[in-house]
Amino acid sequence: MMGYTKTAILMAAMTALFMGVGYALGGGAGLLIALAVAAGMNAYAYWNSDKAVLKMHNAQECNSQVHPDLQRLVHQLADDADMPRPRVYVIHEDQPNAFATGRNPENAAVAATTGLLNRMTREEVAAVMAHELAHIRNYDTLIMTITATFAGAISMLANFAMFFRGGRNGGGNIIAVLLVMILAPMAAAIVQMAISRSREYEADRVGAAICGNPLWLASALEKIQGFASRIDYDRAEQNPQTAHMFIINPLHVHKRDKLFSTHPNTQNRIAALEKLAQEAGIGAAPSSRSNPWG
């Protein structure tokens, strides 16, 4: 219930922001148009935004021929956690990363890049996918996916201001247009930042419980951060509004991660996981194998 309440508040806030942009661009008429568009987007975002995000990243669903080991691993983790089995996808990208999407646990999906499968141990992959299952259990995926949809739409609307020639005062208000161009994407990014940081710590904690060893996830986070800072992820750079959905921020080419950080500091997350392991008396290190899927 809390997940749905947060989502309703988020959708109302993003709708108000969307309408504010519409009013700044077109006055009363712009506000009404923005309201109609926002209503349609709310419906679309709730029912279809997960499919849209998977399509953005060209995700391929796993089956008996496509990465069946990953599908079996995720389904086993879900069974152990007494959760519905999500759909499992693979993304053909070299950067190791992963995300979850879907409006509820009964209609959810997880996606992992081939870079994650090729560069992590089986234990580390299990920990990453457990983290994503935690997002599903906590209903974070609904908020994350809808935010991505609205943030993208608001950014596009703000960019449209460059071509705006009218204005609510008839002659065009260049100051208002400039404010829209600057503040609307900023506001959307701030919303992303606000919903991202606390939920990542909680998903780390719950994910560690699901996989059984906080140190597996700590090791995975350290490796993913290192690779993500060096390996380009072009589709993520083209769709930066989805960056907050990933376990580690996939952006670095255009330094957007320094402007709006949607994730907590990775070293702080690792420290929290190591503390969990210490409290549980767990000291085993992950396997040293580099590719458990070959």
3-30 per-position pLDDT tens digit: 566 667 767 777 777 777 777 767 777 7
Nearest Cα neighbor of 24 from 158, 150, 153 is 158
The yes-or-no verdict on residue 250 having pLDDT over 90 is yes
What integer pLDDT is reported at residue 241 of this predicted model?
A: 76
Instruction: Give yes or no for residue 1 having a pLDDT over 70.
Output: no
| Domains in the chain, number | 1
Contact 260, 201 (CB under 8 A): no
* Residue 278 pLDDT exceeds 80: yes
Percent of the chain topping pLDDT 70: 71
- Is 48 inside any structural domain? yes
Confidence category of residue 194, pLDDT binned at 50, 70, 90: low
Radius of gyration of the chain (CA): 20
Name the percent of the chain lying above pLDDT 90: 47
pLDDT of residue 151: 67
Q: What is the mean pLDDT of residues 122-136?
A: 97
Average pLDDT estimate for 46-67? 91
Greatest mean pLDDT among 65-79, 150-164, 171-185, 252-266:
65-79
Mean predicted confidence (pLDDT) in 181-204:
71
- For residue 225, give its domain range: 2-280
- Residues 50 and 103 sit within 8 Å (Cβ to Cβ): yes
Q: Distance between CA 102 and CA 120 in Å, rounded?
A: 25
At 70 the pLDDT is: 98
Say whether pLDDT at 144 is over 50: yes
The C-alpha atoms of residue 174 and residue 210 are separated, in whole angstroms, by 53
Do 131 and 263 contact (CB within 8 A), yes or no? no
102 assigned to some structural domain: yes
248 has which bridge partners?
none
pLDDT higher than threshold 50 for residue 120: yes
Kindly state whether residue 287 falls inside one of the protein's structural domains: no
Query: Could you tell me how many residues make up the chain?
Result: 294
| Cα pseudo-dihedral 101, 262, 227, 55, rounded to 10 | 30
Catalytic residue set: 132
Judge whether 104 lies within some domain.
yes
In a domain, 285, yes or no: no
Tell me: the pLDDT tens digits for 70-114? Answer: 999 999 999 999 999 999 999 999 999 999 999 889 999 999 999
**Does residue 292 sit within a domain?**
no
**Is pLDDT at 160 greater than 50 in this prediction?**
yes
Q: Is residue 50 part of a domain?
A: yes
Residue 274 lies in a domain: yes
pTM metric for this prediction = 0.79
